[in-house]
Amino acid sequence: MREIVRVNMATGAISKEPLPAAWARYGGRALTSALVFKEVPADADPLGPDNKLIIAPGLLGGTAAPNGGRISIGAKSPLTGGIKESNSGGTAAHALGKMGIAAIIIEGVPADKTVSYVLRLFPDGMIDLVARHDLKGLGTYETVAVAKGIEAAEHRFSDKASFITIGPTGEMGMKSAGIAMTDPHGYPNRFAGRGGLGAVMGSKGLKLIAIFEEGLKGTEHADKEAFTAAVRKFANALTTHAVTGTALPTYGTNVLANIINEAGGYPTRNFSSGQFEGVEGISGETMREITLERGGNVKHGCHTGCVIQCSRYYVDKDGHYMTKGPEYESAWSLGANCGISDMDTVAALDRKCGDIGIDTIEAGVMLGVYMASGKIAFGDGPAALAALDEIGKGTELGKILGDGAEATGLAFGVKNIPVVKHQGLPAYDPRPIQGIGVTYATSTMGADHTAGYTITSNVLAVGGTVDPLKPEGQAALSQGLQIATAMLDSLGFCIFVAFAVLDMPEAFEAIHEMAAAHTGEAWDADALMQLGKETLTYERLFNEHAGFTNADDRLPKFFLEEKLAPHDVVFTVTDEELDSVYAFVPEVAAQLGIK
């Protein structure tokens, strides 16, 4: 029986309750969104006592499901003002799954704002909340280091531990603040970055969650033999597909840099161009060469149970660890979008973002907007680092920049601010890649590439092909991928499994076979898609209750009016097509009995 752990930060009370039977199939994103819909008033102050921070492993968390170790964190977003699920790797999801914890609900705010609290979960089921005065204001790396030292002194620490923490930006309530997870080697470099959920955690007075997992065993299955067979089937698909078996493990996620640049959809200097002349310097190929020359790590999983192995560690010229190998989105946002082509500078910016605890996508989009204002120059790495330092210190300027791209653009009079629902656009320009524009516009999460990753069919010819330069078929493509992604997030899968799933029928079959063998319930393709639709329905309705309308499902006007080189195109998907993406919501809401 999976349980919900409820932590009241106002009283310090901790309780456990069974997961409602109606949500037995929910995990990860489905569960965070259902709980936010049910328990958080849509008009709540995101940083006030009525908002709740919800942490949930996927339904298959704690099992051997390949690439099934992702974790979802949900709340009302201080950045978008709507619902938010932010997804991360790391080791926490499997640890919570093995403990039988379906979700942790952090509610209320403490009376004493000067204290940082640590929530600790132990293998024997004990959970406590302790006040710590020595963690306030620390960066994520130092927080984890200090926490490890404290626990070791108390004879509670072991290497089998997972940490979830925020940096000073979360404590200061900045809207670009994220939440860091420790990876399999103990570095706090995996992020639930988007939507400002680090600020929500900070508003609760919660600095750190420590999950001690020494001796925990994997969760039991209704049919262990069938589950094992489905695991092997799924792992074989992932390791033999060209993208998940070769491209990603060899070059990491940044393998896309040259590909998207060649397609003319690589946003450069605040989305003013679709190609970056310095792309080679920040590409996955170059990153691999530098890392190999310096003796860094070029292949490992960012979360427990990963078989794709697309993560890596970037090291400095002396071979010392700097940060995770900047992911594609980070290398783009802190590189091309800022006119920076030096990999060491990008890595330094990535490390700074991670340590002060801000989302690298929002940070890079913000820096691009700040540079467009003329306050600092495009390509000026030292000035970009100095701007991040202002954020970490919480200066007057830092507080503006720390609230993200839109706040920065409005403060400094920038015309073109690339945001949807107040959130910065990721690393694909929607003009030459129209499908991703549909996802950006309509996603319940604000501009979010992972919500419906149409790059598959628009650029990579995975799961078929849809011409990226034309509007035809883009709304249907995005809708299908948004539904499928919500399902994968709910089960706890990495989004990259979609490459194999879209091309290999046996991979999709293995997912519902694993779900059925694990839970003992009937699962098929329709059940998987229904899970995705239900998740999106909770999210869409919450946003409607918060005041969002179809008018919010639109791209900034400059994407519709200003042609982008080299294709000289604008975004041409019609409003009517955008409004069709969530046409299924009324029917699913009626099935769920919600409105």
Are the C-beta atoms of 492 and 57 separated by less than 8 Å? yes
Are the C-beta atoms of 488 and 498 separated by less than 8 Å? yes
Q: Which of 567, 488, 556, 500 is nearest to 260 (CA)?
A: 567
The whole-angstrom separation of Cα 283 and Cα 478 is 27
Q: Tell me: the pLDDT tens digits for 433-448?
A: 999 999 999 999 999 9
Mean pLDDT over residues 570-591, rounded? 98
- pLDDT of 148 reads 82
Mean pLDDT over residues 49-60, rounded? 98
Mean pLDDT over residues 579-587, rounded? 98
Six-digit token string for 348? 């330094």
CATH 1.10.599.10 occupies which residues in the chain? 430-503+524-595
Provide CATH code, domain 248-429: 1.10.569.10
CATH 3.60.9.10 occupies which residues in the chain? 3-212
Is the pLDDT at 313 greater than 50? The verdict is: yes
Q: Tell me: the pLDDT tens digits for 156-189?
A: 545 689 999 999 999 999 999 999 999 999 999 9
The whole-angstrom separation of Cα 478 and Cα 580 is 11
CATH 1.10.569.10 occupies which residues in the chain? 248-429
What is residue 117's DSSP assignment?
E
Q: Tell me: the pLDDT tens digits for 490-511?
A: 999 999 999 999 999 999 999 9
Q: Read off the pLDDT band of 384 (50, 70, 90).
A: very high
Provide CATH code, domain 430-503+524-595: 1.10.599.10
Q: Read off the pLDDT band of 321 (50, 70, 90).
A: very high
- pLDDT of 160 reads 82
Strands 116-121 vs 206-212: parallel, antiparallel or unpaired = parallel
Q: Tell me: the pLDDT tens digits for 363-379?
A: 999 999 999 999 999 99
Average pLDDT, the chain: 96
Strands 190-192 vs 179-181: parallel, antiparallel or unpaired = antiparallel
- pLDDT of 215 reads 86
pTM over 0.85: yes
Of all residues in the chain, what percent are helix, strand and coil, respectively (each to 5)?
A: 45, 15, 40
Quick one: 158 exposed, middle or buried, by C-beta within 10 A (0-12, 13-18, 19+)?
A: middle
Is the pLDDT at 155 greater than 50? The verdict is: no
Mean pLDDT over residues 186-207, rounded? 97
End-to-end CA distance of the chain: 29
Q: Which of 141, 198, 203 is nearest to 166 (CA)?
A: 198
- pLDDT of 277 reads 98
Beta strands in 353-470 (DSSP E): 419-420, 423-424
Percentage of the chain modeled with pLDDT above 70: 98
3-212, which class in CATH? alpha beta
Give the largest CA-CA distance in the chain.
63
Strands 53-57 vs 71-76: parallel, antiparallel or unpaired = antiparallel
